[in-house]
Copies of this chain bind each other. A is one copy, B any other.
Amino acid sequence: MSRFSLNQATLKYAGLQDAVRVTVDAGIESIGLWREPVAEFGLAESAALVRDAGLRVSSLCRGGFLTALDRTAAIDENRRAIEETAALGAPTLVLVVGGLPEGSRDLVGARERVRDAIGELVPDALAAGVSLAIEPLHPMYVTDRAVVSTLGQALDIAEQFDASAVGVVVDTFHIFWDPQVLPQIARAGAGDRIASYQVCDWNMPIAADPLLSRGYPGDGLIDFESLTLAVAATGYTGDIECEIFNQEIWDSAWAGVAARSKESFDLLVAPHLS
């Protein structure tokens, strides 16, 4: 068994059927799904498709966006996302928590609302058997995408709730820079809070659209050895996703992208897992 999982965002322009076919053809055993292509293909149909293909579903992306002053709509949307995660047989719903509401500069208040909203969702997560995985994003996204920027901060929130309901995402791209990253990975593991480990590289120079500055492991400047050893040392045994936002990769042939993702994982990540 390989623990490698291809996140379908790496094949951005593939629909679900193509993404599943390419993943299976590449000899990959697990896939990370996104809500939009799943909705397009149909939830029940998507669940059947991945099941019939023999794939595990490592996570569903994405819930979150919980920072609005009125979060009624966001809570409803996240409840639907939790149900979808369960229906797909995925253990984890990835949460990108949201940035500042229009006109606001209050990061502290936004963070409090994230914590409160997650608290509202915990009963749903427990009932569905789904882990809500708070994903700290790189601080360059703090105002527009995620007011949670560090693993320590994500854990400060997660630890207020049941470990089976709220965990964190360890994504190399977002947290490799953090001087506290290794002790915080250990802390996450000790509390059984690692809900997902995601690997992609930090390409320089930063792309003009800073969302798209990710690369295959090995193409950028991240030390995958130290991060992977730290994750492995916690006893984390789940799938490991490769999720790359990169225009050149998105414009490449899908089969090659899947193969290259797995090769990079086998070369730079897998050797440090045992």
Q: Which residues from chain A sit less than 8 Å from chain B, CB to CB? A: 100, 105-108, 111, 138-140, 142-144, 148-150, 152-153, 156, 176-179, 202, 204-206, 208, 210, 221-223, 226
Counted per complex, copies of this chain come to 2
Set of chain B residues within 8 Å of A143, measured between Cβ atoms: 177, 202, 204, 221
CB-based contact B202/A179 at 8 Å: no
The smallest beta-carbon distance between A204 and chain B, in angstroms, is 6
Set of chain B residues within 8 Å of A156, measured between Cβ atoms: 179
The smallest beta-carbon distance between A214 and chain B, in angstroms, is 13
Set of chain B residues within 8 Å of A210, measured between Cβ atoms: 140, 206, 210
Set of chain B residues within 8 Å of A150, measured between Cβ atoms: 179
Query: In the complex, what residue of chain B is closest to A140 when comparing beta carbons?
Result: B140
A62 to B179, CA, bound (A): 23
Q: Is the interface of A mostly helix, strand, loop or mixed?
A: loop
Known: A139-B139, A140-B210, A177-B142. A108 touches B226 (CB 8 A): yes
CB-based contact B206/A139 at 8 Å: no
Which interface residue of A138, A150, A206 has the most chain B CB atoms within 10 A?
A: A206
Known: A204-B144, A206-B210, A208-B208. A177 touches B139 (CB 8 A): yes
CB-based contact A178/B226 at 8 Å: no
Set of chain B residues within 8 Å of A176, measured between Cβ atoms: 107
Set of chain B residues within 8 Å of A139, measured between Cβ atoms: 138-140, 177-178
CB-based contact B204/A105 at 8 Å: no
Set of chain B residues within 8 Å of A107, measured between Cβ atoms: 176-177, 179, 223
A148 to B179, CA, bound (A): 8
30 example contacts (A-B, Cβ-Cβ < 8 A) are as follows A100-B221, A105-B221, A105-B223, A106-B223, A107-B176, A107-B177, A108-B226, A138-B139, A138-B140, A139-B139, A139-B140, A139-B177, A139-B178, A140-B140, A140-B206, A142-B177, A143-B177, A143-B202, A143-B204, A143-B221, A144-B204, A144-B205, A148-B179, A149-B177, A150-B179, A152-B179, A153-B179, A156-B179, A208-B208, A210-B210
Set of chain B residues within 8 Å of A153, measured between Cβ atoms: 179
Set of chain B residues within 8 Å of A177, measured between Cβ atoms: 107, 139, 142-143, 149
